[in-house]
Amino acid sequence: MKDIILFPDETIVATKLFDVHQDWEVPISGFFIIAAVRKIKSISEFTDEETSEFINLIRAIRAGMRDVLAIQEVYLFQNEDTEHGFHLWMLPRHAWMEKFGKKIQSVRPIINYAKENMLGDDVFTEVRDCVKKMRVYMSNF
């Protein structure tokens, strides 16, 4: 399936260094991305200020995912060979994902399943509701 931007405006928080938003193309509620504003590829390129803010963002977003969205488990992953610049995926583990297993190899089938089977209004509403709740949670960051 060709990638389509489903959620172009679902930003949770934006700072001068990072942008945190719902994954644009995958209809999974709570699937957040932390992207560097600066065009870099690796965490090794972070300044001290970026390093500090990045870890604080991860911690705050993850706490919100647990406390506000009741997401108990999350996969964090990042790759340096992307054309999109540095970003970290925060993929929640929802109950419906169990059938795909719990290893890193389960991520692609989960994403493909969501893109092919979860394009309904109910899922879109759930995704946007999660973003709204997280926006409120992160409003003092």
The model's pTM is 0.93
Q: Domain locations in the chain?
A: 11-137
pLDDT band for position 5 (cuts 50, 70, 90): confident
**Residue listed under structure tokens 């706490």:** 63
**What tokens appear for 74 in the block?**
């999350």
pLDDT tens-digit profile of 49-105? 999 999 999 999 999 999 999 999 999 999 888 888 999 999 999 999 999 999 999
pLDDT reported for residue 7: 86
CATH assignment, 11-137 = 3.30.428.10
Cα 26 from Cα 11, distance rounded (Å): 14
- Closest Cα partner for 54 from 64, 43, 65? 43
Q: Write down the mean pLDDT value for the chain.
A: 94
pLDDT reported for residue 2: 55
Coil, strand or helix: which one is 76? strand
